[in-house]
């Protein structure tokens, strides 16, 4: 009786996987997608934490290289599932089970981040990544079966993914490799991964939902910005401990400024991203690839800002002894990359005139100005970075308001 009931439940839980309506109203992230995001939180936090420790121990360049490698794997796996789900999520039993398989792979990658940073051991990262990609192949094969109109696209995805996974397995079998060669070969594999969607989508664009993808990307940005919140919380905790041991906050005023500046910086980055101007203004392949791929800069930089704030805390509490320029650079450079990423995927498409280059200008000017300010101390460099970012927010908001009034006068609609 139990077996018969389970069999009937399973049959009822399996549905066809046709393409979803690209104009579906009130399309929002599902509870399953949000659960999937929680796994990404763990992996991103692990990568940011290891970057923090690498910089703190004087291995900034090596740590940055490994961070980019690890973060690409996390982001790419998350991104591929999100775009697929936007087009084909039918929430049946098979879709849920394969999503659970993706989550297992993501957790495996998260577990492999520390061994990779400490011993350059790629085993768990590659195994978790390949497992996730195999689950994606199965999802694409289901889409090919149930969506004849996009079957060539789905099959190209499935075949392309399997071919690239053979590259990753081969890379794993070649270990150990010197770090420069490892980074070079990993870059080659990453390039192959990026090529697969660009080739597949030219056979027919999958029916992803524009507003759904904007929401999905915004949610991941909130996750990476959360690393800055965590670093600010650590600063407050360290300040409280020092205040108790030395009877007062005044001797540690510099440390007290860090959580305040971190919060201001966080709100600036959040404000710039979630402005009135919508992302992904045009739903075509070129825009989708630019916007989708360009977000790697935004996400990696957002997580790195949190790691940089944590380094500042270690510097001020005497746990590490870095130069003030280094302590400033690990915050200023990620903020500049974040601004450049926003210009790349959005501002250069939505603004006219000088406003189109506003964030680009700040991205270029911020590092040298902040590093010069750090000659007077790491906190001064952080203060300068925060002030410049706040100025970028104010100027951009002012320009957006002026352009909105101009469009209103000329009879155009501004959203």
Q: Is the pLDDT of residue 179 over 90?
A: no
Domain boundaries, the chain: 28-206, 211-409
- So what's the pLDDT on residue 245? 60
**SS3 per residue for the chain:** CHHHHHHHHHHHCCCCCCCCCCCCCCCCCCHHHHHHHHHHHHHHHHHHHHHHHHHHCCCHHHHHHHHHHHHHHHHHHHHHHHHHHHHHCCCCHHHHHHHHHHHHHHHHHHHHHHHHHHHCCCHHHHHHHHHHHHHHHHHHHHHHHHCHHHHHHHHHHHHHHHHHHHHHHHHHHCCCCCHHHHHHHHHHHHHHHHHHHHHHHHHCCCCCCHHHHHHHHHHHHHHHHHHHHHHHHHHHHHHHHHHHHHCCCHHHHHHHHHHHHHHHHHHHHHHHHCCCCCCCCCCCHHHHHHHHHHHHHHHHHHHHHHHHHHHHHHHHCCCCCCCHHHHHHHHHHHHHHHHHHHHHHHHHHHCCHHHHHHHHHHHHHHHHHHHHHHHHCHHHHHHHHHHHHHHHHHHHHHHHHHHHHHHHHCCCCCC
CA 391 to chain centre: 24
131-168, pLDDT tens digit by residue? Answer: 999 999 999 999 999 999 999 999 999 999 999 999 99
Percent of the chain with pLDDT over 90: 54
Residue 224 has pLDDT above 60, yes or no: yes
φ, ψ of residue 277 to 5 degrees: the values are -75, 125
Pick from 135, 134, 125, 136: nearest CA to 172: 125
Q: How far apart are CA 279 and CA 325, in angstroms?
A: 34
Closest CA to 296 of 84, 133, 67: 67
pLDDT above 60 (res 410): no
Q: State the pLDDT at residue 404.
A: 59
Average pLDDT, the chain: 87
pLDDT tens, 290-348? 999 999 999 999 999 999 988 888 888 878 888 889 889 999 999 999 999 999 999 99
pLDDT of 268 higher than 90: yes
């Amino acid at each position: 009786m139990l077996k018969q009931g389970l069999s009937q439940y399973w049959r009822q839980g399996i549905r066809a996987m046709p393409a979803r309506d690209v104009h579906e109203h009130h399309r929002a992230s599902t509870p399953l997608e949000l659960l999937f995001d929680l796994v990404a939180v763990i992996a991103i936090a692990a990568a940011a934490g290891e970057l923090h420790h690498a910089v703190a121990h004087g291995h900034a360049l090596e740590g940055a290289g490994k961070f980019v490698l690890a973060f690409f794997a996390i982001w790419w796996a998350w991104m591929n599932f999100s775009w697929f789900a936007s087009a084909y999520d039918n929430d049946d039993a098979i879709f849920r089970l394969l999503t659970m398989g993706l989550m297992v792979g993501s957790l495996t990658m998260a577990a492999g981040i520390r061994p990779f940073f400490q011993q350059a051991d790629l085993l768990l990262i590659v195994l978790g990544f390949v497992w996730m990609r195999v689950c994606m192949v199965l999802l694409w094969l289901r889409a090919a079966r149930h969506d004849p109109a996009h079957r060539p696209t789905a099959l190209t995805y499935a075949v392309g993914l399997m071919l690239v996974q053979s590259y990753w397995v081969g890379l794993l079998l070649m270990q150990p490799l010197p770090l420069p060669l490892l980074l070079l070969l990993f870059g080659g594999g990453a390039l192959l991964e990026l090529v697969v969607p660009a080739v597949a989508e030219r056979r027919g664009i999958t029916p992803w939902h524009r507003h759904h993808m904007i929401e999905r990307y915004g949610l991941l940005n909130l996750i990476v910005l959360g690393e800055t919140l965590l670093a600010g919380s650590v600063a407050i905790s360290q300040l409280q401990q020092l205040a108790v041991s030395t009877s007062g906050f005044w001797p540690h005023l510099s440390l007290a400024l860090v959580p305040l500046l971190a919060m201001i910086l966080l709100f600036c980055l959040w404000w710039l991203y979630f402005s009135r101007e919508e992302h992904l203004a045009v739903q075509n392949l070129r825009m989708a690839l630019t916007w989708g791929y360009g977000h790697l800069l935004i996400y990696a930089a957002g997580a790195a800002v949190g790691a940089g704030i944590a380094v500042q805390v270690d510097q001020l509490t005497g746990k590490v002894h870095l130069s003030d320029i280094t302590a400033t650079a690990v915050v200023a450079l990620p903020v500049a990359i974040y601004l450049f990423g926003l210009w790349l995927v959005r501002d250069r498409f939505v603004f006219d005139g000088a406003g189109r280059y506003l964030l680009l200008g700040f991205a270029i000017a911020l590092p040298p100005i902040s590093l010069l300010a750090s000659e007077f101390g790491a906190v001064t460099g952080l203060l300068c970075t925060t002030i410049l970012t706040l100025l970028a927010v104010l100027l951009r908001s002012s320009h957006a308001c002026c352009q909105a009034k101009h469009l209103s006068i000329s009879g155009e609609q501004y959203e």
